[in-house]
Amino acid sequence: MAKQKIAVVGAGLIGLSTAVYISESISKCSVTVISDKFTPNTTSDVAAGMLIPHTYLGIPIHQQKQWIRETFDYLFEINNSSEASDAGIHLVSGWQIFKTIPDEVLPFWSDVVLGFRSMTEEELKKFPQHRFGQAFTTLKCDCPSYLLWLEKRLKGNGSQVYARRIKDLWELHSKYDIVVNCSGIGSRELMGDLEIYPVRGQVLKVNAPWVNHFIRDGDGLTYIYPGIHNVTLGGTRQKDNWSLSPDPRSSKDIFDRCCALEPSLQRAQDIKERVGVRPTRLAVRLQKEILVHDGKKLPVVHNYGHGSGGFSVHRGTAKEAARLVGECIAALEGASSKAKL
Ligand SMILES: Cc1cc2nc3c(=O)[nH]c(=O)nc-3n(C[C@H](O)[C@H](O)[C@H](O)COP(=O)(O)OP(=O)(O)OC[C@H]3O[C@@H](n4cnc5c(N)ncnc54)[C@H](O)[C@@H]3O)c2cc1C
Ligand SMILES: O=C(O)CCC(=O)C(=O)O
What confidence tier does 2 reach under pLDDT thresholds 50, 70, 90? confident
Instruction: Kindly identify the ligand whose nearest atom is closest to the C-alpha of 214.
Output: 2
Instruction: Kindly identify the ligand whose nearest atom is closest to the C-alpha of 284.
Output: 1
Quote the ligand 1 centre to 183 CA distance (angstroms). Answer: 8
Quote the ligand 2 centre to 205 CA distance (angstroms). Answer: 14
The pLDDT tens digits for 258-309 are 999 999 999 999 999 999 999 999 999 999 999 999 999 999 999 999 999 9
Quote the ligand 2 centre to 295 CA distance (angstroms). Answer: 44
79: left (phi over 0), alpha (psi -120 to 50) or beta: alpha
What confidence tier does 336 reach under pLDDT thresholds 50, 70, 90? confident
Is the pLDDT at 28 greater than 90? The verdict is no
Q: What is the pLDDT of residue 194?
A: 97
Quote the ligand 1 centre to 258 CA distance (angstroms). Answer: 24
50 lines ligand 2 (CB under 6 A): yes
Is the pLDDT at 339 greater than 90? The verdict is no
Alpha carbons 2 and 100: distance in angstroms, whole number: 60
Mutate to test the pocket of ligand 2, among 13, 52, 92, 314 (most ligand atoms within 8 A of CB): 52
131 C-beta neighbours (distance < 10 Å), count = 12
Quote the ligand 2 centre to 8 CA distance (angstroms). Answer: 26
201 lines ligand 2 (CB under 6 A): yes
95 lines ligand 2 (CB under 6 A): no
Instruction: Kindly identify the ligand whose nearest atom is closest to the C-alpha of 205.
Output: 1
Q: What is the pLDDT of residue 326?
A: 96
Quote the ligand 1 centre to 39 CA distance (angstroms). Answer: 10
Is the pLDDT at 1 greater than 90? The verdict is no
214 lines ligand 2 (CB under 6 A): no
Quote the ligand 1 centre to 1 CA distance (angstroms). Answer: 35
Q: What is the pLDDT of residue 334?
A: 84
What's the whole-number mean pLDDT along residues 124-153? 97
Burial of 26 (0-12, 13-18, 19+ CB in 10 A): middle
Q: What is the pLDDT of residue 341?
A: 63
318 lines ligand 2 (CB under 6 A): no
The pLDDT tens digits for 140-191 are 999 999 999 999 999 999 999 999 999 999 999 999 999 999 999 999 999 9
pTM above 0.95, yes or no: yes
Output the residue whose Cα is nearest ligand 1's atom 16: 310
Q: Which residues pair with 147 in a beta bridge?
A: none
Give the position, in ligand 2's atom list, of the atom nearest the Cα of 312: 7
234 lines ligand 2 (CB under 6 A): yes
